[in-house]
């Protein structure tokens, strides 16, 4: 047996022991009949009045908004022609 075969056998033996300890004889499988529990529906607001929304500044509406990998956002105008972004 190769090293990978030994590792696979040990992993399967460990899984079988865990299944016996949990009290199930075979691994759990998903069937078409079993469905995940339905998510609870969101409650409707008690009153029909709309809450006053915070007014966003004019500069945030007109920004590109592109995000880089570190989470910074582009500060150029929306739809800018420049190939690069300016992050802050």
Q: What is the DSSP string of 47-71?
A: SSPPPPPP---HHHHTB---B-TTS
The CA distance from 21 to 30, in Å, is 21
* pLDDT score, position 70: 86
User: In which residue ranges of the chain is pLDDT below 70?
Assistant: 1, 24-61
* pLDDT score, position 26: 59
Burial track 49-60 (b if 16+ CB lie within 10 A, e otherwise): eeeeeeeeeeee
* pLDDT score, position 32: 56
Q: What is the pTM of this model?
A: 0.29
């Amino acid at each position: 047996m190769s090293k990978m075969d030994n590792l696979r056998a040990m992993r399967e033996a460990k899984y079988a022991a865990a299944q016996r300890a949990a009290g199930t004889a075979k691994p759990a499988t998903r069937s078409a009949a079993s469905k995940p529990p339905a998510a609870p529906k969101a409650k409707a607001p008690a009153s029909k009045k709309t809450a006053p929304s915070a007014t966003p500044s004019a500069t945030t509406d007109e920004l590109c908004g592109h995000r880089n990998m570190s989470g910074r956002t582009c500060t150029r105008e929306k739809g800018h022609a420049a190939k690069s972004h300016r992050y802050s």
